[in-house]
Chain A
Amino acid sequence: MASPSEPSENEVIEFVTFVAGEQSFCIEITQIREIRRWSPVTLLPHAPDHVLGVMNLRGAVIPIFDLAAKLGLGRITPTERHVIIIAAVSGQTIGLLVDSVSEILSVRSDSVQEAPNVRGDDTTSCVLGVVPVEDGMTRVIDLRRIVPNATEGAA
């Protein structure tokens, strides 16, 4: 499995888990810059549905994506209760709007399983792998599939 940080066998990886479109997802903690409350964004013309707009993060222009919409799980109508996860990948910084952040999950790298190869819908193409948790499982997001103009991708 090609995890961005290429962990060796049995290394402990920390993930931040969160809920989007009623499913549990997670992102490796090293890719996360900060977590903020939703605040209104500036709309972008000609943007796909899952692009909510851009926000100002200490002088930087950060695009905000509706993760559920990107994954084909329906659009979120953002309110102040919603959360934006600021993440960085391939030199780009982006924000992901999610329903709520759940917890920090520490697992051994060998407990991350490759995502079963089911039909390539929007969700499965953005998921790197799955991690079993007490009440089910959480899906590891491949940020490189989310950022708009990343040239390299987990193809």
Chain B
Amino acid sequence: MSNSIRDTFFEECEDLLDALIEGLSEMSAGTHEEETVHAVFRAVHSIKGGAGAFGLDQLVNFAHTFETVLDRVRSGEMEIEPDLMRVLQRAGDHLSDLVEANRIESGVDETTHAGLLGQLNGFLGKEGEDDVADDGAEEFVFEALSIDIGAPMETAPQTAGFEIRFTPRPELYANGHEPLLLFQSLSQLGSLQVTCEYASPPLGASDWQAPAASWQLTLATSEPEHAIHEVFEFVEGLCELDVQPIPVGPEQPEQQVVTEPAQAPPPTDPLPKPDHPRSAEPRQESRPDPKPAGPRPTLRVDLERVDRLINTVGELIINQAVISQRIEEMNLPSGAGLTTELEDYKLLAREIQEGVMAIRAQPVKPLFQRMSRIVREASDATGKAARLVTEGESTEVDKTVVERLADPLTHMIRNAIDHGLENAEKRAQAGKEPVGTIRLAAFHRSGSVLIEVSDDGAGLNREKILEIAISKGLVSPEADLNPGEIDNLLFMPGFSTATEVSNLSGRGVGMDVVKTAITSLGGRVTIQTRAGEGTTFSIVLPLTLAVMDGMVVTVSDQTMVVPISSIIETIRPSPGELHRFGVDGWLLSIRGSYVPIVDVAGCLGTGDSRADIREQVLLLVQTEGQSHCALAVDGISDQRQVVIKSLEGNYGHIPGVSAATILGDGKIALIIDPDAVIANSSASLRRLPDPRLEKELPHGIAL
């Protein structure tokens, strides 16, 4: 069996499982339509069908039992009640596990497997019966050609052959049968003699309801009678068939000549309209829907091809920037008309780029749906009742983002249930409903994608967080941290809020891993928490991973790029707005508050001589701790779309730099990560050592 078809099977299973989980959660929420139940049934059914083709028996058997329960649900024999729903959802989860286990050729937890099979069978009213496997196996005998083992096995041929009288009814032709083919099959069993008899058809009549021809067949064979019936298996009920064994004896027909079977009379018009044998009323389910409500047609494309295209388009964007710059340098007279063409070119290039990126965009829905399982499992493991509410499932993000968010989201949700939600007692005391709510939301906001994970729990216990951070030596006891900074301690490596490591969140991953994963996607994660009301983790991600809008700046003679998404505004400060602070630090006064100024050159260690702050330009940015900060650069030259090029592949991570890009002149410019630069500045350094910082930085602002 070809491996590529096996791959197709597992790919298809992913889609089917997504549909299954989606349908089950709709059923659970009571928001489903009748078609939902059918779709759920079909998903399990298709998995079973495919699994059968690859001989994955365990999967087949489980899917079979699961499907049988679903079949009863869809026929209305079984009612959708909470207990059943619970089992169906867990069966869905287990089916995912089984598929995955078969894909990687490992096993599943036998106890869960047996337990769920038992529960499903319980609903079928055969609890404890051990016949499930047999059922499954029996199901998959190739019936059409199987030998009927129920028939008595002849030890020796009892007959010399058979006399067969075969009179087809018109339906036989209508069903696509051809008597000649049946005779050919028969002749493979022995030697066949065929005589055709025409009934005297009323002249001119076209009454095909009445048999027009019948055949008398003599088959000399040692095959048993059921072999004959097998040949006629498909036409049973479509003809009159009489099979008489010819006893062994001297009367055995001498004639062994095989005559060509007579060609059946061609059914010129076998289905006259007025006498259609079947009901003229089409079944509801089979009515061809002129506008099928199914998904829009899609095309499956090798991901590598898309990525190659994206790379090429990236080159096109760079090439466009190079051409623009070259033409600008030529100082053409303004009437040359080239500027308009160039502008068109730029727009077209951008349009192509957006179109290409859209190919990779996928809704977050399947990702969110997977999380409902995490909520169920975490809820079971902690004994805290929780439900998942999702919003903005149709929000589209890059495929890589969808893939790489699964682990961070899983961890955040487990964390939210384990540490965020209170136990039932405390919830009751607080006057909250007993079932906790985990909210997962996605939406677009000004060129970024925002994903929020919230709980309606007690909110972060800052006192305890600080205590833990101090006890673990992550922060000095004298440190004076604002609430936002305390919250961010959660993201520090080595921090875990669980004083007793629960078997749930304590799987050796901390929130620092979550943060690293999100940062590697070019995103940021922030925390908002309210005592008694809950906590929200907000993940801000770039819309696309390949291109972003950037502000081109100069930092000690080097051209660099700052992501527009993080800049609130650019400021050329007047001398009155700048205030010295500490040894060589500065504050910017803006709209009544003082904001620390971070010297980018100093933080990156690129400036040999410190520029005069009064001649620099400030970029006001929002930090992860929700406070503001001003980045000082030497100048701003442009605002443009840049293609993101990773530095990690050929070099490695550079503190304060997220990636690189190629500018119009072909030179490489580094893309600054404002959060990391600020974290690396000595202002933060004194109080919050940032793990990304590898060495003491020469310049910075003391606060």
Q: Are A and B in contact, CB atoms below 8 Å, in the complex?
A: yes
Among B660, B662, B668, residue most surrounded by chain A Cβ atoms (within 10 Å): B668
Among B604, B646, B667, B695, residue most surrounded by chain A Cβ atoms (within 10 Å): B667
Residue A149, interface by CB 8 Å:
yes
Residue B669, interface by CB 8 Å:
yes
Report chain A residues within 8 Å CB of B606: 43, 45
B695 touches A148 (CB 8 A): no
Residue A62, interface by CB 8 Å:
yes
Report chain A residues within 8 Å CB of B695: 46
> How extensive is the interface on chain B, given as a class?
20 to 34
A42 touches B605 (CB 8 A): no
With both chains docked as a complex, state the minimum distance between the C-beta of A59 and any C-beta of chain B, in angstroms: 5
Which residue from chain A places its CB closest to the CB of B555 in the assembled complex? A45
Chain B contacts with A in 314-362, Cβ cutoff 8 A: 314-315, 318
B694 touches A54 (CB 8 A): no
Quick one: given A44-B651, A55-B668, are A61 and B558 in contact (CB under 8 Å)? no
Residue B666, interface by CB 8 Å:
yes
Residue B657, interface by CB 8 Å:
yes
Quick one: given A62-B650, A92-B650, are A46 and B668 in contact (CB under 8 Å)? no
A56 touches B655 (CB 8 A): no
Partner pick for B558 among A42, A55, A148, A149, CB 8 A cutoff: A42
A47 touches B667 (CB 8 A): no
Which residue from chain B places its CB closest to the CB of A44 in the assembled complex? B654
A42 touches B670 (CB 8 A): yes
Which residue from chain B places its CB closest to the CB of A45 in the assembled complex? B604
Quick one: given A63-B651, A92-B649, A94-B650, are A56 and B666 in contact (CB under 8 Å)? yes
Report chain A residues within 8 Å CB of B694: 46
B645 touches A42 (CB 8 A): no
Query: Contact mask A44-66 → B, CB, 8 Å, 1/0?
Result: 11110001001110011111000
Among A43, A47, A62, A148, residue most surrounded by chain B Cβ atoms (within 10 Å): A43
Query: Contact mask B282-324 → A, CB, 8 Å, 1/0?
Result: 0000000000000000000000000000010011001000000
Residue A93, interface by CB 8 Å:
yes
Query: Contact mask B593-609 → A, CB, 8 Å, 1/0?
Result: 00000000000111000
Quick one: given A45-B654, A54-B660, A92-B649, are A61 and B314 in contact (CB under 8 Å)? no
Residue B474, interface by CB 8 Å:
no
Chain B contacts with A in 636-661, Cβ cutoff 8 A: 645-652, 654-657, 660
With both chains docked as a complex, state the minimum distance between the C-beta of B172 and any C-beta of chain A, in angstroms: 66
Among A42, A47, A55, A149, residue most surrounded by chain B Cβ atoms (within 10 Å): A42
Report chain A residues within 8 Å CB of B660: 42, 54, 61
Among B314, B558, B652, B660, residue most surrounded by chain A Cβ atoms (within 10 Å): B652
Report chain A residues within 8 Å CB of B651: 44, 51, 54, 61, 63, 148-149
With both chains docked as a complex, state the minimum distance between the C-beta of B73 and any C-beta of chain A, in angstroms: 52
Among A42, A54, A56, A61, residue most surrounded by chain B Cβ atoms (within 10 Å): A61
A60 touches B667 (CB 8 A): no
Which residue from chain B places its CB closest to the CB of A51 in the assembled complex? B651
Cα distance, A59 to B316, chains bound together (Å): 10
Quick one: given A56-B662, A59-B662, are A46 and B654 in contact (CB under 8 Å)? yes
Which residue from chain A places its CB closest to the CB of B662 in the assembled complex? A56
With both chains docked as a complex, state the minimum distance between the C-beta of A70 and any C-beta of chain B, in angstroms: 14
Cα distance, A103 to B21, chains bound together (Å): 65
Report chain B residues within 8 Å CB of A94: 650
**B contact residues vs A (CB 8 Å cutoff):** 311, 314-315, 318, 558, 604-606, 645-652, 654-657, 660, 662, 666-670, 694-695
**A contact residues vs B (CB 8 Å cutoff):** 40-47, 51, 54-56, 59-63, 91-94, 148-149
Q: A42-B669, A61-B650 are in contact. List 18 more A-B contacts (CB 8 A).
A: A40-B667, A45-B654, A46-B604, A46-B605, A46-B654, A47-B654, A54-B651, A54-B660, A56-B666, A56-B667, A59-B311, A60-B650, A61-B651, A61-B660, A92-B650, A93-B650, A148-B651, A149-B648
